[in-house]
Chains A and B, each alone.
Chain A
Amino acid sequence: MISPVAPAVGSRVVRPPGELVIEIEGVTKLYKMGAEIIHALRGISLQIRRNEYLAVMGPSGSGKSTLMNMLGCLDTPTAGRYDFTGKNVAHMIDDELAEIRNREIGFVFQTFNLLPRSDALHNVELPLIYAGVPPHVRHERAMQALANVGLGDRVHHRPNELSGGQRQRVAIARALVNHPSILLADEPTGNLDSKTGVEIMALFEQLYEEGHTIIVVTHEEDIARHARRVVRLRDGLIESDGPVD
């Protein structure tokens, strides 16, 4: 049992971990590339609890992206067990996974992935549309989510009218609007300058302190250091898993 019980670095808050959200055991993933079979994951076991702030690190080809897709329920394992809040998602079909992604997971992408022709408000409303939330409720919740990331005055701006940092804030608002169990961020600062990157990481820190469970996938040590626990991958296996020092 590994838990992030490291003492606070400086004045950093460490929240006590809650119940199990993700439980992975002996997960493998094979890809066929032509005649070649690639072992992206060779047997990974991992537990993530509520209130954790986890960084997944590893060089390219380490299986980092595959693990992230798995954690985000975008993909299913070839073998092994994957329970998400007690539900076995390893054998779910497409639409069931879509349901889990919609309700339990908030995605933040490196390239923001906002709809270019929709304003910030509509972008944030999107997960609520797929959740079947009635218009006035989703309008209200999207406005609130945008206000929470400091964009209450930018709701009707389109992505091309916003700076990179603002775009990523919209994406974060979108990820959080449906109150997911985890926030899953893939290289969230990869397309931002360092100053804006620091701002975004400060926002993540704030969200963590407010009680969100965050998983950041990154190859940058600086970014990983913001987390409370780091999982390092190499060649499809977990190399190390422990608190940030």
Chain B
Amino acid sequence: MTRIVYEFTESLRIAFAQIRANKLRSVLTALGVIIGIVAVTLMGTAINGIDIGFQNSLAMLGEDVLYVQKWPWHNVDDWWNYQNRPPFRVEMADALNRIIDTTPNSLLAVAVPVAGRGGSVKAGENSVSGVSIIGTTADYSRIVTAEVATGRLFNEIESTAGRPVCVLGSSVADSLFPGRPALDQTVQIRGQNLLVIGVLAKQGDFLGIQSFDNQMLLPLNALRKSFGSRIGIELRVKAKDKTKLAAATEELIGAMRRVRGQLPGERDNFSVNQQEVFKAQLDPIKSVIAIAGLFITGLALFVGAIGIMNITFVSVKERTKEIGTRKALGARRRTILLQFLIEAVSICLIGGAAGLAITYATCLAIQHAMPALPVEFSVALILISMVVSIATGIVSGFAPAWGASRLDPVVALRYE
């Protein structure tokens, strides 16, 4: 048993001496593997990044929040069935909350009315357009995970009274008040003055999904003063347990039908949406990246494997006499097989490590140049690329190594 350990270390030693002696040749041979590993790891970082970026955005919106709206988030062919659905009113949120409170073991926590509009916000000379202006109640803080950097969110009294106060997202605050605190300043929407009572912590942006940074929160009743009392609202309902979202959705539909006074057999005149739909929309993007990545990886590794196989054949040919000598000195078939396999695997591992280094550097560069683009390097990627490298080495080195191990020592010794 110890013998195989000695043979293994001897093989490693030979492999590295061999690679050192043929540096250029080894590097050129490893190129295919390098490209393959870069492709597979970059693909991995991109997919990782999309997942993580999306998870962050979802976490911001609240993964456990159900959206009660007029339209479903998937495409519908019979739009006329949805067009004339009745609008939602603030009182419905109160009615829903009463039902939730009186239902034993309810899976729902709280319902909040939300109205949103895109619009511009001004402060003196400065103005920001395309801000999502969100009117809601004080309960809003219970369904989102927003962190307040300075100041506070509005309370129930301000909410009910529709006091002219607001909370700004970080980029809105930065644009309106560059280089100075926004707290206690005044901003305007449609001519209405609002006192800034809080600024949200910076959150980051992902693939254009709206983030808190570009938002402004104010009491729903204050929003109505600017945009009119007929502004459409939706209800957001937080579930208690995000692993039981399906059951929570069922409960919510039942409660909502009671609020709406719908008769049995009547079709729902509202839709309950959840963020799973967003996730499903990302899957095709991820598939495209994965398919393209796998194709490039497969191709590069295939070319790389042929290169390694070729160079191992050359190496066996060049060292036929050495193989004969080793056999004469007592090397067994296994020993020779191991020696050339390890040589092939070593070249692949060096290629794999170089590929990883390139990917890592690329990731750092991307993060530096485009912070918004999600890339995520991980330990799993290192493991995957090492496994892929070793597998490539074994697959491509096996045929020549096997041939070398079967060489007749008499023939090998005579070879010049």
Asked if B413 and A74 sit within 8 Å, CB to CB, the answer is yes
Give the complex CA separation of A74 and B413 in angstroms: 10
Q: Given the interface contacts A132-B2, A132-B3, does A115 sit within 8 Å of B330 by beta carbon?
A: no
In the bound assembly, the distance between CA atoms of A95 and B7 in angstroms comes to: 15
Minimum CB–CB distance for A109 against chain B, Å: 7
In the assembled complex, B335 has its CB within 8 A of some CB on chain A? yes
Number of residues from A at the complex interface, CB < 8 A: 28
Q: Is the CB of A130 within 8 A of B321?
A: no
Find chain B residues with CB under 8 A from A117 CB: 17-18, 21
Contact: B410 with A74, CB < 8 Å? Answer: yes
Q: Does B380 contact A (CB under 8 A)?
A: no
Cβ proximity bits B322-338 to A, threshold 8 Å, 1 near / 0 not: 10111111111111000
B6 CB–A CB distance under 8 Å: yes
For the complex, what is the distance from the CA of A129 to the CA of B325, rounded to whole Å?
Answer: 14
* Given A74-B413, A109-B413, A129-B6; A98-B327 close (CB under 8 Å): yes
With an 8 A cutoff between CB atoms, is B101 at the interface?
A: no
B156 within 8 A of partner (CB): no
Residues of chain B within 8 A (CB-CB) of A132 are 2-3, 6
Residue of B nearest to A134 (CB): B2
Residues of B within 8 Å of A228, CB to CB, are none
B-contact 0/1 string along A105-129, CB 8 Å cutoff: 0010100010101100000001101
B372 smallest CB distance to A (angstroms): 52
Interface extent on B, as a size class? Answer: 20 to 34
Does A126 contact B2, Cβ atoms closer than 8 Å?
no
Are the CB atoms of B332 and A174 closer together than 8 Å? no
Is A75 part of the contact surface with B, judged by Cβ < 8 Å?
yes
A72 CB within 8 Å of chain B: yes
Complex interface: chain A residues within 8 A of B408 (CB)? 75
A129 to B329 Cα, complex, angstroms: 10
B10 at the interface (CB under 8 A from A): yes
The yes or no answer to B49 lying at the interface (CB within 8 A) is no
Chain B residues with Cβ below 8 Å from A126 are 10, 326, 329
Q: Which residue of B lies closest to A115 (CB)?
A: B322
| A69 contacts B by Cβ under 8 Å | yes
Q: Whole-angstrom distance from the CB of A189 to the nearest CB of chain B?
A: 18
In chain B, positions 1-50 with a C-beta closer than 8 Å to chain A are 2-3, 6-7, 10, 17-18, 21
Tell whether, in the assembled complex, residue A69 and residue B410 are in contact, meaning their CB atoms are under 8 Å apart.
Answer: yes
**Which residue in B2, B10, B325, B332 is a CB contact (below 8 Å) of A98?**
B332
Q: Decide if A95 touches B333 in the complex (CB within 8 Å).
A: yes
What are 16 A-B pairs with beta-carbon distances under 8 A?
A: A72-B328, A74-B328, A74-B413, A75-B410, A94-B333, A98-B333, A101-B329, A101-B330, A102-B330, A113-B328, A117-B17, A117-B21, A118-B17, A130-B332, A134-B2, A135-B6
Given contacts A130-B7, A130-B329, 17 further A-B contacts (CB under 8 A): A74-B413, A75-B410, A94-B332, A98-B331, A98-B332, A98-B333, A113-B321, A113-B322, A113-B324, A117-B17, A126-B329, A127-B330, A129-B6, A130-B3, A130-B332, A132-B6, A133-B6
For the complex of A and B, list the 9 residue pairs with the smallest distance between their C-beta atoms, beginning with the closest: A102-B330, A132-B3, A130-B330, A113-B325, A95-B332, A98-B332, A127-B329, A74-B409, A117-B17
Chain A residues engaging chain B, CB cutoff 8 angstroms: 69, 72, 74-75, 94-95, 98-99, 101-103, 107, 109, 113, 115, 117-118, 126-127, 129-135, 174, 178
